[in-house]
Amino acid sequence: MNEETPKAPETPSTTPSRCPEGRRRRRGGRALVALLVLVGVFMAGQAFAGRRNPSDEAIRDRVSWALEKGLDRIDGTDEQLAALETIVDAHFPTALTLRKEARELRMKLAEAILSETPDKAAIEGLRKQLVGLFDRATLELSTAVEEGTGVLTAEQRKVILDKISARFAG
């Protein structure tokens, strides 16, 4: 598991860190953060490799790459990787469905806002639908993250928490 870190599929767009400290703070929390990548899937705002509409397969490959890279940084095992992949597999179809719904709702909202005579009630209704969709997506994500943290050891969770705390510290 801790051999050479695999390269990202489809070479995602990355910007070099301005300082090595910033880069170090992002390491280690990647296993848990990889599950948070699902937020991008849920809300369809993420563009991988400079593309606006990555395929479902490209998104899944990116999630797998992030999981493996994150686990390498906290000395994860192959068994942990397999367990996390199973969790992602269980939640991925729902994520894709929510992604599609979000796309459709955003398009409807754009059309409503930019119509010749915007209807405030219609816009408000679409906004409420988006809030409801976001609620469903975050519930699904929370469930996946909770399951994922159960796969990690107490020490691995502490390392991740320390890194997250350092990142958000004053």
Q: Which of the two residues, 12 and 140, has the higher pLDDT score?
A: 140
pLDDT tops 90 at residue 162: no
Averaged pLDDT of the chain = 78
Distance (Å, whole) CA 138 – CA 159: 24
- CA distances 6 to 32, 64, 68, 69, Å, are 18, 10, 8, 7
Work out the number of other CB atoms within 10 angstroms of the CB of residue 23. Answer: 11
Give the residue from 4, 66, 61, 63 showing the smallest Cα distance to 29.
Answer: 66
Radius of gyration, alpha carbons of the chain:
18
Residue 35: predicted pLDDT: 45
Predicted TM-score of the model (pTM)? 0.64
What residue spans define the domains of the chain? 20-96+140-168
- As a whole-number percent, the residues of the chain with pLDDT over 70 amount to 69
Give the pLDDT band (50/70/90) at residue 3.
Answer: low
Residue 47: predicted pLDDT: 39
